[in-house]
Amino acid sequence: MIDPQFRGAGKLRRAMAVASRSASTDPAGLQDAVHHLASIHRPSASAGEREAAEWIAERLRALGADARIEEERAHGGYWWPLGLLAGAGAIAGVLARRGGLWRVPGGLLAGVAAHGIADDVGGGRLWFRRRFLPHRPTYNVVAEAGDRDATRTVVLVGHHDAAHTSLLFDPRAGRALNGIPWVLEHVDSTPPLMFPVFGGPALVALGSLLGDRGAVTLGTLLSAATAATMAEIGSRPVVPGANDNLTGVATLLGVAHALQTRPLEGLRVLLVSTGSEESFMEGMQAFARRHFGELDPRRTHVVCVDTVGSPELVLLAGEGMLLMREYPADFSDLVAACAQDEAVPLRRGMRLRNATDGLIALKAGYPTVMLGSVNELKLPDNYHWPTDTAENVDYSTVLDAVKLCDAVVRRLAARAVGSG
């Protein structure tokens, strides 16, 4: 974690920079890009997502990258998979509570539901939704820049779809933490929202096995509450998604502009904006199926950029909805060193109890880092809320993300050239 005095100086520096910026200091038109894309209704795997992908690809081509759109298949939501599995957990609980032989089918059904939820939220095979739920097209943008003939690659990943809102994401809950200084001082991870989602069916299965009626009852109630929550999320509108994650898209555009202005040798740069990230990384899963076989983990680094429009840039130490996976220390140290060299304020040590596209690369064995941002409550601004508009983005942090990503790319290129 950076020194508080340095972080305060960084905030002052950024505030002064924002006040003095003109159009000429934003040569890639990043603010205009966020404003334009935020005006497009972009649910996962939708016509709006495709419109956004086409616009991003065209902008990347104008910035000198070889960009294409890869159409994939995705379910496009997480509320149906989790809601149905949680509903199965509740039904299993009703069966198990009858006792006797009913505990056997109840426990089995609950175990299958718990396994399906763990797979879905953990960046697994998504077997339940892929086998039982309908799918539709989703759209990934893949652009190639840098040294196209290089044997080493860095993949920069953002996403352009937007999330549904929910009462679950009401920012007033986060602001309530402001009155509990101890929590803000000592907690460096986001709330584990998926623990009760998995815990409901898991408790039913365990209670059925042990004959524990109390565990079955609690698991049934949690499963029913989860199903109701997922139904509420599915009924809500889609937010503009400016911070989450058009700021990541803007970072890709900024890096593309930097590479056009100052070309580099020794490193191929893939700029990837995925669709259907908000449906538990389905776009990134599709990118992995299509491309990971040709990307050697020994010669490939991955930088995920997600929600970098809050006041303080963050380099995550780990993430995962159920199982926390740590990001590699050596690559994280390289990014932190670049931040120090570029005078970019960077918080370290935080962990995310959600999941981003970075998790898919991390699980596949790639050296990966994830850049995000937080406010004074250690939360991303306007997360999954209707106020996630282009006007509420901290563009100074976005420009810091561009600066840092460009520095990381050039550091990796220099290493590649030096190693031959």
The pLDDT-based confidence of 346 (bands split at 50, 70, 90) is: very high
Residue 361's nearest CA partner among 296, 312, 288, 412 is: 288
Query: What mean pLDDT is predicted for residues 137-166?
Result: 97
Phi, psi (5° rounding) for residue 272?
-120, 125
Q: Give the number of other CB atoms < 10 A from CB of residue 323.
A: 12
- The answer to whether the CB of 310 falls within 8 A of the CB of 394 is yes
For residue 375, cis peptide bond before it (omega within 30 degrees of 0)? no
Q: What is the DSSP string of 309-327?
A: -SSEEEE-SEE-SSS-EEP
Instruction: Quote the percentage of the chain above a pLDDT of 70.
Output: 90
List, for residues 238-273, the tens digit of each pLDDT value.
999 999 999 999 999 999 999 999 999 999 999 999
Q: Which residues contact 62 (CB under 8 A, 6 or more apart)?
A: none
Residue 206: count of CB within 10 angstroms of its CB: 18
Beta bridge partners of 142: 68, 272
Considering the segment(s) 4-74+137-190+238-419 as one domain, its CATH architecture is 3-Layer(aba) Sandwich (3.40)
Q: What are phi and psi for residue 227, nearest 5 degrees? A: -60, -40
Residue 334 and residue 404: Cα distance in Å, rounded? 11
- Token readout for 202 is 């898991």
Maximum C-alpha span of the chain: 74
157: phi then psi, degrees, rounded to nearest 5: -125, 130
Mean pLDDT, residues 337-365 taken together: 96
- Neighbouring CB atoms inside 10 A of 236's CB total 17
Q: Where are the domains of the chain?
A: 4-74+137-190+238-419, 79-131+193-234
> Tokens 């007033």 appear where?
172
Whether the per-residue pLDDT at 196 is higher than 60: the answer is yes
- Give one word for 84, left, alpha or beta, with left for phi > 0 and alpha for psi -120 to 50: alpha
pLDDT of residue 305: 98
- Paired residues of 352 in beta bridges: 319
C-alpha 159/C-alpha 284 separation (Å) is 9
Contact 275, 161 (CB under 8 A): yes
The position carrying tokens 């065209």 is 58
Global pTM reads 0.91
Read off the pLDDT band of 2 (50, 70, 90): very low
Distance CA 358, CA 340 (A): 23
Q: What distance in Å separates the CA atoms of residue 64 and residue 276, rounded to the nearest whole number?
A: 26
Residue 27: predicted pLDDT: 59
Tens digits of residue pLDDT in 175-185: 766 656 666 67
